[in-house]
Chain A
Amino acid sequence: MTADYAVRDYAVRLGDDALILGHRLSEWCSRGPFLEEDLALSNVALDFIGRARMFYTYAAELTGDGATEDQFAYQRDCRDFTNHLIHELPRGDFAFTMARQYLIDVYSIAFMQALQQSSDERLAGIASKAIKESRYHLRRSEDWIMRLGDGTEESNRRLQDAVNELWGFTPELFEMDALEGDLVASGIAVDVTALKDDWERSVRSTFAEANISIPDEDWQVSGGRQGKHTEWLGHLLSDLQFVQRAYPGLEW
């Protein structure tokens, strides 16, 4: 594997994270709890899909041979996707969607801050755009954690259920494998293990303030970076990729 393919695969991973979460958010379109939230969810979805496009476009350039961003989004199957599992979990109720968003937003800001320092200028450039968006994403998701956690008995219960379900999917965000380890050594990738303590401190303090407890159960799931997914990804892709599967190569 040449260095460029390692960077390409890394860009695809980050693109996959963004695309799959963006798709989950887009599922809320016309189903938001009220109009302003519907717009907000769709807009955040757009930001993530835009982020995916930037990573995939770069990956396509590194691949060469006329590869395009669309091939990464539409012409790969489950095992080729390398997103973290947390992104593919079904959208659940509004509390679940916002809990996931909050956990990801705190993570994204730290991650993009670090990626801005990448020796790969293109990745650093994407990060410098993405971080600005994640900052206002976080303003909103954190606000919702407070409102739901410190709201009614029902909103607190729903948010607590969501956090209980999500927590075991968060350790994966801080795992590294050989590919990322090598890229960290060459100053290209982010050392995610170094982000965990600050992330956890920040998340714990927000949840404490919102009367939400962090579950004690010691389970965790991972495998997304190796293409081992939950049963949910296939269903998501059947929706996301339907048109290109039915009419390969179709253009607008």
Chain B
Amino acid sequence: MNAGANIPLMPVEQLERQLRRRNSSSPALWDVLDTVMDPEIPVISIWELGVLQDVEWQDDRIVVTITPTYSGCPAMTVIAEDIEAAMHDAGYDAVEVTTQLSPAWTTDWMSSAAKNKLRNYGIAPPAKDSEPSCPQCDSTNVKRISEFGSTACKSLYQCGDCAELFDHFKNF
């Protein structure tokens, strides 16, 4: 029996992202950015969401690199502004936010801790190769109402047992 079959492998981009943080010469900058939350889902940070790729000093300014989630996601503009505001509050004035398109963002970069936070917030987290379960009663008797929910990244479901309508963060 292959014991590893059910253990999800970490995507290489996710590993690289974690290594960039672990090996960073300015860990304080990363900590500042932990306070920047997704404007639509204020319980997870941009680091947990997988949007934050890198932050580093380049000469006398700080360059923050983020990967957009969806092309048309209005939250990305807000995220860039929030990053600058958080940096300014922490005393860093010369900040530049750059976006990196490739490799494209995927929900695989979201940590399992972040997925649990989503669930506790009432949003069914992305689940690979399976239907979501109801974040209220854990039932798997659920039905998709619409491919799109309150935002492009979510679809709308209804629980067949407790009748709760809930958002599902799409596997993307």
What are 23 A-B contacts with C-beta separation under 8 Å?
A36-B145, A36-B146, A36-B156, A37-B146, A39-B148, A39-B150, A40-B147, A43-B148, A44-B148, A45-B72, A47-B70, A47-B152, A50-B72, A53-B72, A54-B101, A121-B102, A126-B101, A128-B101, A129-B71, A129-B102, A132-B104, A133-B71, A136-B172
Quick one: which of B128-172 are within 8 Å of A by CB?
Answer: 145-152, 156, 170, 172
Q: Ordered nearest first, which 4 A-B pairs have the shortest CB separation?
A: A50-B71, A50-B72, A46-B72, A125-B102
Would you call the interface of chain B mostly helix, strand, loop, or mixed? Answer: loop
Q: How far is the CA of A133 from the CA of B68 in the complex (A)?
A: 13
Is there contact, CB below 8 Å, between B71 and A54? yes
Is there contact, CB below 8 Å, between A53 and B102? no
Chain B residue with Cβ nearest A54:
B71
Asked if A140 meets B172 with Cβ closer than 8 Å, knowing A47-B72, A48-B72, the reply is no
* A133 → B minimal CB distance (Å): 6
* B34 → A minimal CB distance (Å): 25
Interface string of A39-64 (1 = CB under 8 A from B): 11001111111110110000000000
Q: How far is the CA of A124 from the CA of B172 in the complex (A)?
A: 18
Q: Is A130 an interface residue (CB 8 A)?
A: yes
Inter-chain contacts of B27 with A (CB < 8 A) = none
B residues sitting closer than 8 Å to A (CB atoms) are: 68, 70-74, 100-106, 145-152, 156, 170, 172
Would you call the interface of chain A mostly helix, strand, loop, or mixed? Answer: helix
Inter-chain contacts of B151 with A (CB < 8 A) = 43
Is there contact, CB below 8 Å, between B147 and A136? yes
Inter-chain contacts of A125 with B (CB < 8 A) = 100-102, 104
Q: Is A147 an interface residue (CB 8 A)?
A: no
Inter-chain contacts of B147 with A (CB < 8 A) = 40, 136, 139-140
Q: Which of A36, A50, A128, A136 contacts B102 (CB 8 A)?
A: A128
Inter-chain contacts of A133 with B (CB < 8 A) = 70-71
Is there contact, CB below 8 Å, between A129 and B72? no
Asked if A36 meets B148 with Cβ closer than 8 Å, knowing A46-B74, A133-B70, the reply is yes
Is there contact, CB below 8 Å, between B149 and A39? yes
Is there contact, CB below 8 Å, between B102 and A51? no
Is there contact, CB below 8 Å, between A40 and B148? yes
Chain A residue with Cβ nearest B76:
A50
* A31 → B minimal CB distance (Å): 16
Inter-chain contacts of B106 with A (CB < 8 A) = 132
Chain A residue with Cβ nearest B101:
A125
